[in-house]
Amino acid sequence: MVLAQLGGSISRALQQMNNATIIDEKVLTECLNEITRALLQADVEFKLVRDMQTNIKKIVNFDDLATGHNKRRIIQEAVFNELCKMLDPGKPSFIPKKGKTSVVMFVGLQGSGKTTTCTKYAFYHQKKGWKPALVCADTFRAGAFDQLKQNATKAKIPFYGSYTESDPVRIAVEGVERFKKENCDLIIVDTSGRHKQEAALFEEMRQVSEATKPDLVIFVMDSSIGQAAFDQARAFKQSIAVGAVIVTKMDGHAKGGGALSAVAATKSPVIFIGTGEHMDEFEDFDVKRFVSRLLGMGDWSGFMDKIHEVVPMDQQPELLQKLSEGNFTLRIMYEQFQNILKMGPISQVFSMLPGFSAELMPKGREKESQAKIKRYMTMMDSMTNEELDSANPKLMNESRMIRIARGSGHKIKDVSEMMDEYRRLAKIWSKMKGLKIPKKGDMSALSRNMNAQHMGKVLPPQMLKQIGGVSGLQSLMKQMGSSKDMMGMFGGADK
Ligand SMILES: Nc1nc2c(ncn2[C@@H]2O[C@H](COP(=O)(O)OP(=O)(O)OP(=O)(O)O)[C@@H](O)[C@H]2O)c(=O)[nH]1
């Protein structure tokens, strides 16, 4: 997605500043101009960008900063915080509670991905043990009910709708009543969209809302909407009590920044993003986590969530134990590759891991990378147990490499390339040595135990330098308040 480019441009601007011998007003202005340009190119609303620039200049006041202050770190921190502020309305949205009935109404323009997102939202909660249900109150688009029915059936989620009834209010009320009686705890109402914002759409939305009294109205917005996003989001907010936003199609070539400005227009948080057409291509959105990932700082908690989701429960403590011992064996690499292939869109997973993304999987070459991983796995299939379980790559001498190449139908050069990859990953993961292992299922303990030393070891060196080394990181952690906040910043604390 183009947002990755935005992150790259901002990181580069910070890096250039970092390379300057003296940090003065001029260097800061140049850096901020670069960041401004990048944000505007990504379609973030002009006023937001201007405010951000003014705020940073206020925070980094050279007259007030005594010599010896780590200006680089202060600027880095200010940029991070301002980016977060831009995406954070300051108040959380209504959060439905499992086991207690909530009605959630989805609104948005036609084609924004509303119907798809309703199912993704239901499926996401169903996986976590909720009892969701879908109501199709879109009587405007022929085929909307069929689409919802198909999606719901696939995900085994109860649904309600009608081929003959043309009154959306009536369907919505009947559906909500039925599912309340059936004790569903998350009743999702999909409403009609139109090609553009028009009075009829807003009137219908208001009526459905009045009749069903939703606990939360979610505005669904296509990320490719660009600069028009702000006005569109505001128009919806003025007609209905939008409480949260979901931005869809973040996997495409959309610039994304425009849709993210929707936060400012609706003063409501983005709670999820859609990253593909499939049911599980849906990620919860956490501002600090998103910004750290945008700036290439890695997303630990996202990664931990994925481990949680994909690595079978009984294997998790074992895997973490092995990592904490610093024994990254070929078998672990094999198992991780297996998990990664299971996890679906490979780029999402890799972008969460510091050190993994750029080398193993260059952007836009996901298919190739997937093929490469499969190739590596075939070669590992020709290895002995001893080789797989050893953390000593010396076992892999020339004659073994020849055998493995022959056994797997590959060239020696390929085996050697795979071993290089193994060494690179082992080096990164060896830095996790000494990490305290949480009790089964307690991921927050893992986050708490990742102290500045660990974080320092796994952050990209350039990023660490920008922050001011491990000591800079430590004081940043203190400044950010509790360790929970800090882990949030680097994507740690679980919810
Ligand atoms: N790539 C990608 N496609 C998506 C995503 N979300 C939805 N889509 C696709 O966008 C198209 C429109 O989605 P719908 O869910 O039908 O749109 P809608 O807003 O419900 O449209 P109306 O019911 O007419 O209002 C479909 O082809 C979806 O598969 C996403 O996150 N990524």
Tens-digit pLDDT profile for residues 278-296: 888 898 888 877 777 666 5
Q: Is the CB of 115 under 6 A from ligand 1?
A: yes
Q: Which of 438, 292, 308 is nearest to 354 (CA)?
A: 292
| Closest to 219 measured CA to CA, from 269, 185, 253 | 269
Q: Which residue has the tokens 């976590």?
A: 128
Q: What is the dihedral of CA 478, 299, 266, 251, to 10 degrees?
A: 160
**What are the contacts of 414-417 at 24+ separation with CB within 8 A?**
414/375, 414/379, 415/379
Higher pLDDT pick, 235 / 255: 235
Would the CB of 274 count as within 6 Å of ligand 1?
Answer: yes
> Of ligand 1's atoms, which has the minimum distance to the CA of residue 275?
31
d(CA 442, CA 440) in angstroms, rounded, equals 6
HSE on the CB side for 217, CA within 13 Å?
A: 21
Q: 32 CA distance to ligand 1 centroid (A)?
A: 36
pLDDT at 445: 41
CB atoms under 10 Å from CB of 411, counted, come to 11
The string over 313-326, giving b where at least 16 C-beta atoms fall within 10 Å of a residue's C-beta and e elsewhere, is eeebeebbebbbee
Cβ-based neighbours of 22, under 8 Å, separated by 6 or more: none
Report the pLDDT averaged over residues 223-234: 81
Does residue 218 register a pLDDT over 90? yes
348 within 8 A of 275, measured Cβ to Cβ: yes
pLDDT for residue 160 is more than 90: yes
For β-strands 282-284 and 270-274, DSSP reports them as antiparallel
- For residue 125, the model assigns a pLDDT of 95
Per-residue pLDDT reduced to its tens digit, 473-493 = 555 444 433 333 333 333 332
366 band by pLDDT with thresholds 50, 70 and 90? low
The pair of three-digit structure tokens given for residue 131, joined into one six-digit string: 């009892």
pLDDT classification of 113: cutoffs 50, 70, 90: very high
* Ligand 1 binding pocket includes 146 (Cβ within 6 Å): no
Q: Give residue 222 CA to ligand 1 midpoint distance, Å.
A: 8
Whole-number Å distance between alpha carbons of 289 and 273 = 13
Per the listing, tokens 């360790």 go with: 483
| The pLDDT value given to residue 316 | 55
Ligand 1, pocket-test mutation among 134, 218, 277, 348, most atoms within 8 A of CB:
277
CA of 387 to the centre of ligand 1 (A): 47
Q: How many angstroms separate the alpha carbon of residue 278 from the centre of ligand 1? A: 10
Two tokens at 288? 């600090």
Helix, strand, or coil here: 105?
strand
- 190 — phi, psi (to 5°)? -90, 130
Using one digit for the tens of pLDDT, what is the confidence trace for 181-197?
999 999 999 998 877 66
Q: Is the CB of 113 under 6 A from ligand 1?
A: yes
Contacts of 405 (CB under 8 A, 6+ apart): 379, 411, 412, 414, 415
CA 223 – ligand 1 centroid, Å: 11
Q: Would the CB of 81 count as within 6 Å of ligand 1?
A: no
Q: Report the alpha-carbon distance of residue 319 to residue 333 in Å, rounded.
A: 11
How far apart are the CA of 220 and the centre of ligand 1, in A? 10
CA of 193 to the centre of ligand 1 (A): 11
For residues 413 and 80, give the distance between their C-alpha atoms in angstroms, rounded to a whole number: 43
Give, using CA atoms, the residue closest to atom 26 of ligand 1.
Answer: 113
**1 Cα: distance to centroid of ligand 1 (angstroms):** 17
Stretch 354-372: mean pLDDT, rounded? 58
pLDDT digits (tens, 9 = 90+) for 306-354: 555 545 555 556 666 666 666 778 887 787 677 666 654 444 544 554 4
- Amino acid 346: pLDDT: 43
- The reported pLDDT for the residue numbered 177 is 97
Average pLDDT score, the chain? 76
Tokens 């709708």, residue? 161
Of 473, 468, 472, the closest CA to residue 490 belongs to 473
Q: Is the CB of 144 under 6 A from ligand 1?
A: yes
DSSP 92: P
Ligand 1 center to 141 CA (angstroms)? 13
Q: Which two tokens stand for residue 267?
A: 């003063």
Q: What is the pTM of this model?
A: 0.63
Q: Is the pLDDT confidence value at 381 over 70? A: yes
Instruction: State if residue 277 touches ligand 1 by the CB under 6 angstroms criterion.
Output: yes
Q: Where are the alpha helices (DSSP H) in 89-167?
A: 114-127, 144-154
